[in-house]
Chains A and B, each alone.
Chain A
């Protein structure tokens, strides 16, 4: 409840504050450096090259995959100011690095991306097929204006903080179902991935981005499921019984390939859409 006294107090404070601030704020900014912003964060499933449907793509091993279920527990997401060490560099610079290697002081962390300029600090269950390639807006997030050059995110089992939203994951980090087809072979499959602690095995690092973060822009994390299936050999799976999907277990090549690929730096990417106008 807001009392009249509170209004009076606020008016009084504003009056005095205005007078005092006028002198100090004459120069506008406090001079501490940086600029805080607020921007929107969203998720989107990327279309595979040459495809116009989300969740449909052809792997480099020739399998045509059509996903019917794709859910992922994702987050938090961090946008770093430093570039990914895996980011492609100019040939000349790479040559220079070989000839004149630079000494690096150990910064103490596995990957120190420098300052975090933006983040989505919660986890979310993302249905990759639900929005048909359109971005799902998660919400607004505070940040610092500047160019973010890499991102990092966590893949982990759903925590209690997710509540009922996490129930659909049945305790897993990633659920996939669909059909892989090559020539006359058709492999309906279901697969679940788990990424338990330690956090080093949950983290997707070094994702190169180039996002000039600023007020009221929109940062979209793009999930690239077509890259997850790079090198998968569905032909090595046992032939399933007619009509029933094959449960892809952790002992299989497909499971192992997905487990590695989902945490590769190119399994995700990011895009920045500045505020229009």
Chain B
């Protein structure tokens, strides 16, 4: 019986590591990364993964081994010890250093993504001149572009729903707002998530590195239709972006007669 129980404990690290090794094959790993900072986030995730995996395997194997070894029948008493000051110091100091290392290694990336002073300033879009205002509401996404004058809240604003069109390889800044409850703007392929908070306007930036259409997921419970609040981000070339904006403008200001209705 002791063998069975020890093997069960030992199976935890073995199968645990195995499912991670199989993750690519089972498609249970990160989706592709198409943002400029996504690679850094994946790298930091992996850094923690290696340190955690090491600790996980060592402690779990020790646990299984101790349970096996010391559950054997023995005639003498167990070891009589109340602890070891030296060991306590060692296993306090080493994890402390490792944990501080983890904490400090995260700061640069966090500051780069979230701190407003680090937001893109020199490109076409900035906090003052965002590419669009993204409105979340139950259960849809609206994207309001400023139009030709580059200013939001004027008569030439253009609006689309569910599909957010952005140019590739460009620092894009947008303003995130909510009309009703809390939502969250989550694009797994960008490694980007930001809650939309009613009553607040939150600037967000990203830089997509590959053209394509990516799922825009609402990641904060927003009501019964939360599961279907699916949008998408269409990353297109700079030229196509211009064309699409022009088409959107034509559609938005059409009186319905040009198409012969």
* A, B assembled together: no
Interface residues of A (CB under 8 A from B): none
